[in-house]
Structure 1
Amino acid sequence: MTASPVRTASAVPVAEEVRLAAVRRYRILDTPPDGAFDRIASLAARLFDAPMATVAIVDTDRVWFKAAHGLDGITEIDRGPGLCASAILHGEPYVVKDAGADVRALADPLVQGEPGVRFYAAAPITTADGQRLGTLNVLDTRPREPTDDQLEALQDLAALVMDELELRLSAMRTIAAERDRRAEAERLARALQRTLLPPTLPDVPGLHAAAAYHPASADEVGGDFYDLFPLDDGRWAFFLGDVCGKGAGAAALTSLTRYTLRAAAIYDPDPCAALANLDSVLKGEYQGSDPRYCTAAFGVLQPLSDGSHSITLAGGGHPSALAVRADGSVEPISTAGGQLVGMLPDPQFVQTTTRLRPGESLLLYTDGLTEARTADGMMLGEDGLTRHLTATAPRTAHELLHSVETLLQQLGDGVSDDTACLALSVPAPSTPRPQENR
């Protein structure tokens, strides 16, 4: 193999620059061996009853073989006058009957050295816009004279090579377009999701609050929601829930649900009344269409003189909240029996009360967390979440949220649905209050 001088861009004719641009467009150079091209080369060799055949792409200073039947260990040769490099200058089959006696071919590495080629026939691999990427070649170590039928068949096989390259280019473009579409969908989904959740949680006197949302899919808007906001009488309202479905429909339902609950709390802050108000709005909004419903937990915080907070919590088909007590025990704050919001003709909502004392915290979450699968394929469930919180013993809203995020990371691919979490805690008297709203 002989070395060829490197060509500078200014030394390359314009027509050759255009041809090389076409070669780059198909992104075929230096790709791994491929059965489709190997079969075409093998078929060309059988057609001529010849020992060697190649699918060659002519690069700037080399001829690279995508397929090389009968040329063991040879993947490229230097580009120079001779066989392939000369053949691409012609738009029709190019034949060298006896390379040993043909001045055009004497300098070619395959003629000078091993395997000592004497016969060469090539058909150009030509794009729809007339650019010749390379050639389909048949080679022999003895002089030959091909028939017209063989050369015509070789052209057909070269056209098959071009068809295969076009198919692959189309596939690459489709994949790239899909990648761009997904990236844009992810960007829009993230932007839309941010509008459905409060950007930050407010600063509640005597309370720590932290929240997080973990989407199961980066390019699809989920329906989990939460909020925390003040009431006129010094109390605070909060809610967390999960609407049915994904995508734009779920986003519209989430927006309606969140703002309806906020408005309902101003009209009547009783938690069951707020859920009943939401139920009426959802049924009126989606009357006659596909049912739109959600699960939700709605609560009201009342600060007390001893530093604790009284919590009244109502549930509509939502998982129980979990209270982490000062002694490290985890207690479910059950609203079992509460029914889906927006689904049933006359749903029942269940209300309960609890108290958060200094050093205690409360976790509300959507079922993406408890329905996640553990390593043994079992659902995590409320019991699994309780065991995890008991083992990690979080004391503040920030620690509680961090404990859940660690659990989600451990579950990995077992998490198949979006998860929203809202954590509230009353700081212990000796604990300085950090900025934890997220």
Structure 2
Amino acid sequence: MCRTDQAPDPEEEKDVDATDAMFTSLLEDSAEELYEQAPCGYLSTLMDGTIAKINATLLEWLGLERSRVVGRMRFTDLLTVGGKLYHETHFAPLLQMKGEVSGIALDIKTTGKQRMPVLVTSKVKTSEDGAPLLIRTTVFDARDRRAYEAELLRGRRAAEEARRQAEADRVRLQEALAVLQQSLLPAELPAVPGMEAASYYHTASPDLLGGDFYDLFPLDAHRWAFFLGDVCGKGPQAAAVTSLARYTLRAAALHDPDPVNALTTLNTVLHDRYTSGEGRYCTAIFGVVEPHDGHVEVHLASGGHPSALIQRADGSSDYLHTPGGMLIGVLPKATFTAARARLLPGDTLLLYTDGLTEARTGPDRTLYGDEALRTFTTTQPAQGPQALITALTGLLASFGDGLHDDTALLALGPTPLATPGVTT
């Protein structure tokens, strides 16, 4: 019968024992070498902070000999003044309370009293009955991290400074644009004997020049010219057209105040000026008012502009329709539509640009429209141009972000009659 069990070979047992001893020795040497030459600093201190053990890596960072450190220095002796204060007020109390702290940023003093940023992790070693024996601490080199954080901070500061500079530039630009915008509008409307006049201008964006314009000025001792218009587009190009349109209408009115002729002159000037390049055009209403005792005569013409609206003293409101008026500046010859009206005390003639009627309202962003404007005007007390402009200013504010275009308003009417029994 064949036996499978054999007696152990004494020679093989000797080889195994020798191998185990060799690996044990290598492991012991490797563990000690790993401690001494680790890529981070290690040290063990007594509970009072006296250094009992420290590895070669940390000694190299400090530029100190082991004999000068072990048993002679405390952990806080390795720290900068700020680090010592933080250790006493935060690090040590937290370590005593929790038994360990992790990733605390400190600075240690290296050769030549240079600062070296480090991250420190410490843990208290206790006996079996829980009594604290010593503190084991790991010190990580944080120079690269600190340099990265400093670079990141510089980048953030630079970005913040750039943001502040951009905001300052934007404010200066808005101020310059506001001044330029005001130069395209009358500083204030003149006082007209026997009439009241009011105006309002809403700028949709402080960063862009608008193309809406209006004016009121005397022709002679009895008649006054007025106009309100809207240039296509925004920005400097639109502002240039606005300026040209204003001064052209003023000059044309002094030469020939007939509304159709004034718009015809503007059409010729705009078409000739921009026909060779990018086309520029506008819409406008031009008119002449002549105050009389108890009423004001109005003669106006429109070129592609929304019809003027008349609020009557009896509470009604109606458009003064001017159909067929063409855009100004598109064609070498254009047709314009004229209309006449008589304003009695309590009546107000309202001119506006389409920013008002093209505003979007409600959750479904519905177009406000001409009929809504007529209805709104009808609901307002007939108290003259200034009262109507004030009401419309509130209406524009109620649109919020639905009011996406510039809006100009100009209202004219006879001087309101004094209320009986009220003195002013």
Normalising by structure 1, what TM-score?
0.69
Secondary structure of the corresponding residue to residue 112 of structure 1: helix
Structure 1 regions of 5+ residues with no counterpart? Answer: 1-46, 51-91, 125-130, 433-438
Partners in 1 of 2:138 and 2:119 — Cα distance? 14
Q: State how far apart, in whole Å, the 2-side matches of 1:120 and 1:358 are.
A: 83
Deviations 1:159-213 (A, max 9, x none): 2212321221122112101110111011101111121111121111211011111
1:204 aligns with 2:189: no
> Which residue number corresponds to residue 203 of structure 2?
215
Give yes or no for contact 1:330–1:390 (8 Å, CA) kept in 2: yes
Q: Report the Cα distance in structure 1 between the residues aligned to 2:272 and 2:61, rounded to whole angstroms.
A: 75
Query: What is the aligned residue count?
Result: 332
In the alignment, which of 298, 301, 314 is matched to residue 311 of structure 1? 298
Q: 104-113 or 201-210, which moves further after superposition?
A: 104-113
Q: CA RMSD in A?
A: 3.2
How far apart are residue 311 of structure 1 and its match? 1.0
1:143 equivalent in alignment to 2:136: yes
Instruction: Give 2:158's aligned residue.
Output: 170
- 1:397-418 Cα deviation digits (max 9, x unpaired): 1101111101011112211111
- Deviations along 1:408-433, one digit per CA (max 9) or x if unpaired, are 1111221111111111111343359x
Aligned mates of 2:62, 2:316 — CA distance in 1 = 86
Classify the secondary structure of the residue corresponding to 1:422: strand
Contact residue 302 and residue 336 of structure 2 kept, 8 A: yes
CA distance in 2, matches of 1:250, 1:334: 27
On the 8 A contact 1:212/1:421 being kept in 2, the answer is yes
Structure number with bigger Rg: 2
The alpha carbon displacement at 1:294 in A equals: 0.9
Q: TM-score, normalised by structure 2?
A: 0.71
Aligned positions of 1:75-114 closer than 5 A = 101-104=74-77, 108-114=88-94
Worse-matched range after superposition: 137-146 or 92-101: 92-101
Distance 2:307 2:154 in 1: 57
1:342-353 matches, within 5 Å, as 342-353=329-340
Give the AA of the match of 1:414: G
The percent of aligned pairs where both chains have the same amino acid is 43
2 CA distance for matches of 1:408 and 1:281? Answer: 33
1:115 deviation in Å? 2.6
Q: Distance in 1 between matches of 2:266 and 2:61?
A: 77
Alpha-carbon displacement from aligned partner over 1:76-111 (angstroms, at most 9, x marks no partner): xxxxxxxxxxxxxxxx97799999942425753344
User: Which amino acid counterpart does residue 339 of structure 2 have in structure 1?
Assistant: T
Q: Could you tell me which residue of structure 2 aligns to residue 419 of structure 1?
A: 407
Provide the residue aligned with 1:338 in structure 2: 325
What's the secondary structure of 2:283's corresponding residue? strand
CA contact (8 A) 1:118 1:143 kept: no
| Structure 2 residue ranges without an equivalent (≥5) | 1-38, 43-59, 108-113, 124-134
Question: Aligned partners of 2:74, 2:102: CA distance in 1, in Å?
Answer: 11
| CA separation of 1:145 and 1:293: change in aligned 2, threshold 3 A | same
Q: CA deviation at 1:320?
A: 1.1
The Cα offsets for residues 140-163 of structure 1, whole Å up to 9 and x where unpaired, read as 3252456xxx63xx3322222123
Q: Cα–Cα, structure 1 residues 118 and 243, in superposed 2: closer, same or farther, change >3 Å?
A: closer
Aligned equivalents of 1:332, 1:373: Cα separation in 2: 21
Give the equivalent residue in structure 2 for 1:385.
373
Post-superposition offset of 1:218: 2.0
Distance 2:61 2:331 in 1: 77
Give CA-to-partner distance per residue, 1:239-273, whole Å, 9 cap, x none.
00111222222222111110100001111111111
Distance in 1, matches of 2:119 and 2:75, equals 17
Bigger shift: residues 277-286 or 92-101: 92-101
Q: Alpha-carbon deviation of 1:348?
A: 2.0
Q: Which amino acid aligns with 1:359?
A: G
1:282: how far off?
0.9
